[in-house]
């Protein structure tokens, strides 16, 4: 897809969102099913079932996906798509590249070994190695706009209001 094709696809959406801001508000959903025997949760990705379980550092055997890894993978995927869209819009030629996300965890927190240890990532680093025909200034603009428009990055950088609720399944 080139810049003109991207613009042709996105411009009617942008016009609609300008005229009717409510149309831009969409609720995304994810659904998981608890395993009835293992410490695992199956998540329907829309393409296949992803089964997450304990990370080896918390007692898992490494055969199931780690939700922490999945979070980093979502960040890489979103940043990659956003970077491609921004590069296309700016007419920056990208022959390819790699994106790496690394996150630091102290498992003492989630394992309740030390109440002072944080639960969750204490830092996340996102690195782009790009095969681009671009100046240093263009690459800096590309990364700045990718950071600005990447949904997962912005969600992590500015956490939304979170709530948890519990109920009982029918027949319980």
The pLDDT, as a whole number, for residue 125 is 98
* Pair 63, 51: CB distance under 8 Å: no
* Average pLDDT along the chain, 172 residues, taken 10 residues at a time: 93 95 93 91 92 95 95 97 96 95 96 96 97 94 98 97 90 71
Find out whether 146 and 79 touch, Cβ atoms under 8 Å: yes
Nearest-angstrom CA–CA distance, 49 and 30: 12
Structural domains in the chain? 66-157 (3.30.300.20)
Helix (H) or strand (E) holding 94: strand 93-105
Q: How many CB atoms lie within 10 A of CB 113?
A: 10
| CA–CA gap between residue 56 and residue 53 (Å, rounded) | 9
pTM over 0.85: yes
Considering all CA atoms of the chain, what is the largest pairwise distance in Å, rounded to the nearest integer?
63
- Give the tens place of pLDDT for each residue, 16-54: 999 999 999 999 999 999 998 899 999 998 899 999 999
Concatenated DSSP letters of 103-162: EEE-HHHHTTS-TTSPSSEEEEEEEEEEEEE--HHHHHHHHHHHHHH-HHHHHHHSPPP-
Instruction: Say which residue the tokens 């089964």 belong to.
Output: 51
């Amino acid at each position: 897809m080139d810049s003109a094709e991207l613009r042709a696809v996105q411009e009617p959406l942008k016009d609609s969102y300008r005229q009717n801001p409510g149309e831009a508000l969409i609720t995304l959903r994810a659904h998981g099913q608890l395993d009835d025997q293992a410490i695992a949760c199956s998540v329907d990705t829309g393409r296949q079932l992803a089964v997450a379980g304990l990370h080896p550092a918390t007692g898992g055997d490494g055969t199931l996906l780690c939700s922490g890894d999945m979070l980093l993978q979502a960040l890489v995927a979103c940043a990659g798509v956003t970077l491609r869209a921004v590069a296309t819009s700016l007419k920056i030629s990208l022959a390819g590249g790699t994106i790496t996300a690394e996150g630091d965890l102290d498992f003492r927190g989630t394992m309740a070994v030390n109440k002072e240890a944080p639960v969750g990532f204490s830092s996340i680093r996102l690195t782009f190695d790009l095969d681009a025909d671009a100046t240093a200034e263009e690459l800096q603009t590309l990364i700045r706009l990718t950071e600005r428009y990447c949904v997962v990055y912005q969600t992590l950088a500015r956490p939304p209001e979170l709530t948890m609720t519990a109920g009982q399944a029918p027949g319980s």
